[in-house]
Structure 1
């Protein structure tokens, strides 16, 4: 079992967090949040990986002949992609409405949103 995919997932998450913290544009912030969320794809695929395993298609395999990867983890990764795309679309729609209402996407200039 290799630790490399977990390190890649952590690095992608940290890069996205750094971009999110240093962002001066709401569209850039949404993109960085999508990068943070994409690190979960790497993590899920690393958890479900088995060395020497095949796809979980049992029509041509006898039970117990060869190891297969976990199909639940693959389904979770696919669900994660769909949820990430939906969240990104909703956040971009909100940024568009903020831009129309306030005329800017710079978070520092949005004084009406401060508590």
Structure 2
């Protein structure tokens, strides 16, 4: 068992979180959120990986009792990709609206939004 995919997943999530915290631009913040979400893809695929296992297609080509990869994890990864694309599109649409209304995408210059 290799720990490399888990290290990569944690590294991507941490880099994304650090980027969100240090961001001085809303577009940069959205990109950093997308990077952090991509760490979840790597994590899910690392959890579902089995060494020497074949695709979960049962038929005459797969002998009975041979190990197969869990298809639920693959479906969850595809769902995660779709949700991430939707969240990124929504956040970018919000950034466009903020830029139209306030003329800037720098969070420190958005004085009207302070309570």
88-97 or 55-64, larger mean C-alpha shift: 55-64
Task: Please give the root-mean-square deviation of Cα atoms over the aligned residues, in Å.
Answer: 0.9
Question: 1: distance between equivalents of 2:69 and 2:113?
Answer: 47
Q: Where does structure 1 lack aligned partners over 5 or more consecutive residues? A: none
Please list the CA deviations of residues 53-90 of structure 1 after superposition, one character each: whole Å capped at 9, or x if unmatched.
111111221331x2111100000000000000000000
Tell me the TM-score normalised to structure 1 length. Answer: 0.95
Question: 2: distance between equivalents of 1:91 and 1:41?
Answer: 20
Query: Match of 1:62?
Result: 63
Query: Match of 2:36?
Result: 36
Number of equivalences: 114
Question: 2: distance between equivalents of 1:87 and 1:40?
Answer: 14
Query: Match of 2:113?
Result: 113
Please list the CA deviations of residues 11-49 of structure 1 after superposition, one character each: whole Å capped at 9, or x if unmatched.
011111111111111001000000001100000000000
Structure 1 segments, 4+ long, off by >4 Å, are none
